[in-house]
Structure 1
């Protein structure tokens, strides 16, 4: 399959991934928000406000060139993905909270993502740049993200057993199309990949680690429970890289291979950093459980 064909299939790629997400969601996941008011508010503030600010500080501090800086901001504006629930399960986080956060973040991101991307384009390339997510492009992002999620949720509600059976095949298909997307990005950049990787690897790793740290210690400062804080750490720290890759690469959206490179790098890095962070949090939890003074002062 040619690279141009893969590019044209990007909207379908995102739709498949979002359909898979929708198959895991129910209306209860949105209703559950009222059961975690403190955790939800702290997590959403961290996701929507604190993390983009941290990302902006990193790209400015490392003086990334405009396309890479916009790619990083696009990644920061993307919601969490299903990977967060997996890591939350592995390290005894509150998976139900993860699912609810993913559901709410996916909806909110349709409004905050275009805003952050357009402000980034104006700030790094100039207000007169032709790149950006204008209204028609925002509608397209909305249609390829929320509509498949809604379809998946409808299938889950109406044909529950079928939806449950389809979860695994759709996840496998999502991995296949993600590999195709990454291959398209790498082939489009050629030998320049290694130079770009050298420019952004430190920023990507720091952004990932800061995201998980904010997601964990922010809720703990507000006396949110440990399991909910672990869920928050992975939800804020592990973003939906396929979505940001597709938005960056799609010929009808940003159409920039270079803007996709931060998300491609992040997609590889986060699996390893999340494991390290998870083991560190688990070790901290064991130490706290062994210290009576800690267990009596922390929820």
Structure 2
């Protein structure tokens, strides 16, 4: 009898240990997803607080945003990103750059970037403005879209953002120095159509005092300039983490239920009930 019960006991202990480990792992993964949701919600709330602040003018922008040649710390970047701004100045239209393969409303075209020089007495500061999106001519991919740039002093509205995200580049797209040609070349030595843009390289090539961040324009004049400004709306994205957490917690509960049924109820309770049922009645 003991030779039978010993392997059975070891099997029970091993299954119990495995169920405990599986339950702990799935539950911890569920709590990890809840933590990720809390982190993203915190970032989203901070971004909304930034966007609700009073817009900066030329003076605040020139004072607070460092030049691209200066160090921009992570804490300073968080303080600046998504801050609204209302600026006066002039477009440097001849140095406009078109970033290709950018999507808006499900279509592929260009992001149009133009340097914007702040009005006096802050003309020493120039910020790259993501002005909007323009459709590409797929019959002739070298043709630039018809984008109208107002002359003279204008007022623009927008929010501070990091430079446009970079798309993957092929190794073959290198300059003669061996460095990937991801920067702009406002001097017209190359096409104004670019895959990516790097503000530091742009500043070096053009000798413009560019600021470290860009401005995503939200002014109401997009249609008159031949542009579209249906910028993607950022959301917290916490629902998917809640969904993953529910799945992990559900799996954890399932493991517990299966263990209770097969290792406790059927092992101990069912035989006991059977013995009670088969016992002779007095």
TM-score class, shorter-chain normalisation, is under 0.3
> Normalized per residue, which structure has more helix?
1
Q: Which structure's relative contact order is higher, taking Cα pairs within 8 Å and 6+ residues apart?
A: 1
- TM-score, structure 1 length as denominator? 0.18
- TM-score, structure 2 length as denominator? 0.19
